[in-house]
Structure 1
């Protein structure tokens, strides 16, 4: 298999903690592939004849993270690579990967050195040269600039500017064809594009937004920023040599199967999720540790020497110093706890930024759809009598290849269903915005636990439907309100519901969300009970410890329950667990009733 040089930008990009997450995600995908009963194992038993598998050579870009790149060991990695392996396994293909410079890979497809490209943006011009499968992704391209430079909104605003692009990439083709007044400057890799722009060469750069942000972060190019407005939105998928319809059909078939089995969604979440802030390096940890511990050690040594010298004369003072040392240690523990909460706050801030952008991008077209559908509904009501009269006068006739007699019955229901779906999209987006909104941490009175539970259930509705066929919500009426912060309580319940979904061994196992009043303790309780695999008894006391997780092999960080316990503690409540292996788990949030309500 062909690989690029050991110091390629893609390999340098997949470093540190992200490399660990990539390795875990790849290991999970390979374990799942080996466990699938419907896919034959390549290592056939001795004496058995393995079925013939077509061998194909699939090419890609060596520096296009997180879609495709070469890792530190020079091995192909990324979303496209995992997707290709899953598709090949599904349709019985044997794949050899070749990743290199994009321009070289395009030429290799034209000359027949490779059979397919696993990721290529669609255009009408390219469709005359290669055959495309249905898209596997929609890729947003953005304009990158140095911080402080004049912002631009579209490709048309780049007229007369020197613009860096990937050689033979879709933006290279688009700018040359549709914007001849732009001075195009091609580079061999995306890393070269961003490195030249950061060094002050040329004016702007245009490339896919997610890989661009990924490389900016990994390469430490803090003087670069991406414009919020998308420069282009392209369909992105497999491309084969012109006329190779058989291979295109098999890849399309495998892609459809992988989507339907849910494996596509798992790979997408693992590779294309939110770009998390990078954790501290070993050098930073050592430096911070020295900064805190060295003065502390010196202080303790001084105090110990002074205490030994004056021990007989100042016994009472020694007791005071001992108490002071204990308080200092307690404050140090609180400081470490606050640092962990700060890391989680950074992640939630990144989530809030992403959700706000996505909500804005969805709300605008959805608002237009909702408005247009309402107009179409009114038009349909007004036009129906006229169309009925025409049918009575001239007999039944055809509209849009369907008979009016059939359309008359179906059209109102179709418009009504579309309106309901659009309103549901709007509600989901509003729930996401409420969940991610940065509000004051202060607690307020009159918070309805039932409303918090409903909102949390809506936020994870898609995951719950994917995970179980039996989801029950039982909300007790007339519960007294509590004092709290609705968004932070929603965060706790979302964490508990996500954990419950991940614990289920199959869709036949259920989840129950309920609220009730515990009069004995004067508290309102919210319980999430699942029929999952359960938790070992020795693990129960450590569930809320920072960084403790039983899902390390599936990408768990061990922060979700730790943060949730901290939030519940801020509300004066407790987070309790009941579980046994094979019998499921019950997680219960206990919140005290407001004093006025209790009285």
Structure 2
């Protein structure tokens, strides 16, 4: 068996299986289904305990998985656990503060390990009433579709009933083994220890059909070069895919259910789902194919035009048809632009929530409650100290120095007021940062007012202060201090500045490289400027023209989505401003944000 800690580096999925199968609309529907299911279960108590549970964060949870079930879970070429289930478990463990250890092996052994207590939880088990007798299930985190595979020369079938009386290969102890036994296929089943063995036996001609999960089957065809095997019936059965624990272990299941709900709401689930189970890229029309079909159309057309005596009439007809087509294209493009505009606010909000993670949704309230007590109690302590100061000072004058809290009073009488002031200032700063985060995450309606860009920059820097401190020892901010106001939306401009500073920090190779941010007023041009410069790895020259394109990113391997700069560019354009990038590989990057200063008459 293979072990792996949650903090280990995730290995990339085999690039040969980057093609995906599900449509994005289906993914959106399924994500909605997950949220609804989780909420319903929580309300009814179906799979969740009725009382709060207590969990020891220092314990390590052993997570079991199948070593050969790609793309859901498998051992990669470097011997490490990988796949959709693994990434989802790591995300849940991170948001819940849990330590997990992956233990992979043959599926039968892993199932047995759960029952005898060597494994705490299975990260991928299909739901069934029979299994419910021995395990408890989480809400489903995805749906697994199963397909019937056959050799190319085999008679195709449309469903499971057409397999009756035929020898069928099936993965032992998998959900389809259980389903087919219930349907009375037991005597005709040929069991294999892994889906890969089932596909190999099918390709060799030992049986005519195999029932395997659709995604693993397609992957194995590619990986094992089984060119004579094809799916003949897709999605014949669809099963709910869940986490599972031994029956009664509801405390552990509750933690995973809570973590799954957080990961879904913060957008991490959608990223993981799309990374492993996303959609096919649309097929591209090659130049050769375009030339071939163009020739097939143009040659007959030229023959017709050469023999016809109605050239003028035909020409006018074609011009009219082309005019109609162009008008239709313009109408479709305008419709697409309107649709894009309608969804822009949703994209902006999604990007903001991805930056904030779970901080605002899960922690802001818990921070404000104890911090509010500090803000109430510290002034009381200051008044108590002031009242007691005269008594302590009299005692000091009459009896000499004495110990107070393990420190001589002669030192503490100066330190205590300073400590109380620092405590109150720190509590006020915590409150201000939390309020800034809540304002940043709150969906705005796009109203524009006169704002001070320096104030917006200061608020944005407070939001990303932890990232700055953890990324560099050399951060410098030089704000103008008396900039003219610009007309805009403070929350949206904060988002732009946060994205630019985060990108600068992420580009730094080590903490000794620095980041500079400054503001200035170009009176001759009538604009205020924000400059962000980093000493990072820079951007290759060929990538510069595409930095603000949607979904273009040079950090996809580290989780980049390619939406940050695209959304930022749209916000800046709405404000009548501009973003300029200058960079070279290995020499850092400079970004300049320019915003127009409104005329005095317009301000009035």
User: Aligned partners of 2:488 and 2:320: how far apart in 1?
Assistant: 43
Alignment match of 1:211 (pick from 250, 256, 260): 256
SS in 2 for 1:487: helix
Equivalent in the alignment of 1:415 = 420
Equivalent in the alignment of 1:191 = 243
Q: Post-superposition shift, 1:519?
A: 3.5
SS in 2 for 1:504: coil
1:516 aligns with 2:561: no
Q: Which moved more, 1:314-323 or 1:536-545?
A: 314-323
User: Aligned partners of 2:559 and 2:403: how far apart in 1?
Assistant: 56
Q: Post-superposition shift, 1:582?
A: 2.5
Tell me the alpha carbon deviations over residues 574-595 of structure 1, each in whole angstroms, 9 at most, x when there is no partner.
Answer: 2111112232211111222224
1:464 aligns with 2:468: yes
User: Aligned partners of 1:544 and 1:511: how far apart in 2?
Assistant: 21
8 Å Cα contact 2:64-2:103 kept in structure 1: no
8 Å Cα contact 2:475-2:516 kept in structure 1: yes
> CA 1:409/1:474 → structure 2, altered by over 3 Å: closer, same or farther?
closer
Tell me the alpha carbon deviations over residues 152-184 of structure 1, each in whole angstroms, 9 at most, x when there is no partner.
Answer: xxxxxxxxxxxxxxxxxxxxxxxxxxxxxxxxx
1:506 aligns with 2:510: yes
- 1:89-238 to 2 correspondences below 5 Å: 98=103, 191-192=243-244, 211-215=256-260
Q: Post-superposition shift, 1:192?
A: 3.9
Q: Which has the larger radius of gyration?
A: 2
> CA 1:532/1:287 → structure 2, altered by over 3 Å: closer, same or farther?
closer
Equivalent in the alignment of 1:134 = none
1:325 aligns with 2:377: no
Alignment match of 1:380 (pick from 382, 385, 401): 385
8 Å Cα contact 1:274-1:354 kept in structure 2: no
Alignment match of 1:591 (pick from 586, 592, 595): 595
Number of residue pairs matched? 387
8 Å Cα contact 2:352-2:495 kept in structure 1: no
> CA 1:362/1:282 → structure 2, altered by over 3 Å: closer, same or farther?
closer
Equivalent in the alignment of 1:181 = none
8 Å Cα contact 1:573-1:589 kept in structure 2: yes
> CA 1:371/1:61 → structure 2, altered by over 3 Å: closer, same or farther?
same
SS in 1 for 2:74: coil
Q: Post-superposition shift, 1:524?
A: 2.0
User: Aligned partners of 1:24 and 1:336: how far apart in 2?
Assistant: 35
8 Å Cα contact 1:470-1:508 kept in structure 2: yes
Q: Post-superposition shift, 1:497?
A: 0.4
Q: Which moved more, 1:322-331 or 1:337-346?
A: 337-346
Tell me the alpha carbon deviations over residues 285-316 of structure 1, each in whole angstroms, 9 at most, x when there is no partner.
Answer: 68999xxxxxxxxxxx9xx9xxx998555577
8 Å Cα contact 1:469-1:509 kept in structure 2: yes
Equivalent in the alignment of 1:571 = 575
Equivalent in the alignment of 2:494 = 490
8 Å Cα contact 1:482-1:591 kept in structure 2: yes
User: Aligned partners of 1:309 and 1:208: how far apart in 2?
Assistant: 77
Tell me the alpha carbon deviations over residues 228-274 of structure 1, each in whole angstroms, 9 at most, x when there is no partner.
Answer: xxxxxxxxxxxxxxxxxxxxxxxxxxxxxxxxxxxxxxxxxxxxx86
SS in 2 for 1:483: strand
Equivalent in the alignment of 1:61 = 62
Q: CA RMSD in A?
A: 5.0
> CA 1:106/1:413 → structure 2, altered by over 3 Å: closer, same or farther?
farther
User: Aligned partners of 1:337 and 1:210: how far apart in 2?
Assistant: 38
8 Å Cα contact 1:534-1:581 kept in structure 2: yes
Structure 1 runs (4+) greater than 6 angstroms displaced? 80-83, 99-109, 279-284, 286-289
Tell me the alpha carbon deviations over residues 103-128 of structure 1, each in whole angstroms, 9 at most, x when there is no partner.
Answer: 9799779xxxxxxx9xxxxxxxxxxx
Q: Post-superposition shift, 1:388?
A: 2.4
Q: Post-superposition shift, 1:361?
A: 1.2
User: Aligned partners of 2:373 and 2:492: how far apart in 1?
Assistant: 32
Tell me the alpha carbon deviations over residues 440-489 of structure 1, each in whole angstroms, 9 at most, x when there is no partner.
Answer: 123x2312212111111121112112222222222224322222111011
Give structure 2 stretches of 5+ with no counterpart. 14-58, 66-70, 95-99, 105-109, 121-137, 140-240, 284-296, 302-310
Give structure 1 stretches of 5+ with no counterpart. 5-13, 15-20, 26-57, 65-69, 84-94, 110-116, 118-143, 146-188, 197-201, 226-272, 290-300
Q: Which moved more, 1:589-598 or 1:339-348?
A: 339-348
Q: Which moved more, 1:314-323 or 1:481-490?
A: 314-323
Tell me the alpha carbon deviations over residues 470-516 of structure 1, each in whole angstroms, 9 at most, x when there is no partner.
Answer: 22222224322222111011000100001111112222322221222
Q: Post-superposition shift, 1:562?
A: 0.8
